[in-house]
Chain A
């Protein structure tokens, strides 16, 4: 059974850096074609894709946020980490870790989602 779980601070101050960890089970990023993404949803707003990392360490970022985002992985720990710099109240959202469907190097649907981690940005 594939599961993903997000962890990190529930509250960050403006200008701080947010670090979120996704710990997963039921698959491995050692496996060729495996891909994991981060997606967020501000309260009352739509879903927004943030970043993706592949089994071969290829990385992809949202065009609008790429200057603030870094995605990395610790394959031996089954973890993917997202950092977002210079946090602002508009970054208040639920952040989801998601496994992409199937195996490959292109884009596919977001298949298995974590429960999400709510992050509030406030002084």
Chain B
């Protein structure tokens, strides 16, 4: 079955750039969505269809997808960005929706 692989943690200082990767076999051929999840709150969609931002999401959030890796980038990281970030795809072969294991962002 299709697997999405995310590193467990990322740490950056405020003002720096945070990069989150999501690995999967030929993930570049799929649409990847990214969610931000803060403790005790509902997840928030921050990037959809690889690189589009929903209304209200700052331009600091951007995404890309090619080959075997999709990437979410947060520029000029703020303390308020500290959260878990999940990637998600739909796998046509299994007809299942899949989430990655999530990456915890720590702002130093």
Report A114 CB to chain B, min CB distance, Å. Answer: 6
Q: With contacts defined as CB atoms under 8 Å apart, how many contacts are there between chain A and chain B in the complex?
A: 53
- Looking at chain B's contact residues, the main secondary structure is strand
Report A10 CB to chain B, min CB distance, Å. Answer: 16
Q: Please tell me the size bucket of the interface on B.
A: 20 to 34
Report B88 CB to chain A, min CB distance, Å. Answer: 7
A116 to B99, CA, bound (A): 17
A109 to B42, CA, bound (A): 15
Report A78 CB to chain B, min CB distance, Å. Answer: 18
Contact status A109-B99, CB under 8 Å: no
**B48's closest neighbor in chain A, by CB?**
A109
Given known contacts A46-B86, A47-B86, A96-B43, is B96 in contact with A108 (CB within 8 Å)? Answer: no
6 pairs from A and B in contact (CB 8 Å cutoff)? A47-B35, A47-B37, A49-B97, A63-B94, A101-B54, A116-B42
Point out residues on B near A: beta carbons under 8 Å: 31, 33, 35, 37, 41-45, 48-49, 54, 86, 88, 90, 94-102
